[in-house]
Amino acid sequence: QVQMVESGGGSVQAGGSLRLSCAASRYSYSRYCMAWFRQIPGKEREGVATIYSGGGTTYGDSVKGRFTISEDNANHTLYLQMNSLKPEDTAKYSCAATGAIYGNDCGFETSFGYFGQGTQVTVSS
């Protein structure tokens, strides 16, 4: 059973930075997608960033130029570097992953079958 565990959330002032990590265990696909999503209670889940096993990335419009998604392919650890944080970035952030895919890119509409429990990020003004 694939398990995904996030870490690195916390509280920070506006303008600050945080780095989220997501360790995927028992994950052994060679062509796959991984992603970060975020959600505020009462609102729909929002796509933050995706990364394809071959290296391509996509970002939500609200985080472009401020957030960077990356992955350590050797151990399937996913990262999200968040800079210039704003109060509107406050949310619970979850990592996600697919099983094996046949395409060569990823998007927020990709079918992600594995999710972590999430880690809270709070940005104060």
Please count the CA atoms within 13 angstroms of the CA of 98 that sit on its side-chain side: 22
Q: In sequence order, which ranges of the chain are alpha helices (DSSP H)?
A: none
C-alpha atoms less than 13 angstroms from C-alpha of 65 in its C-beta half-sphere: 3
pLDDT in tens, 62-98: 999 999 999 998 888 999 999 999 999 999 999 999 9
Q: Taking all residues of the chain, what is their mean pLDDT, rounded to a whole number?
A: 95
SS3 89: helix
Instruction: Check residues 108 and 104 and name the one with the higher pLDDT.
Output: 108
With a cut of 90, say whether residue 15 has pLDDT above it: yes
Closest CA to 108 of 62, 41, 42, 40: 62
State the CB neighbour count (10 A cutoff) for residue 59. Answer: 18
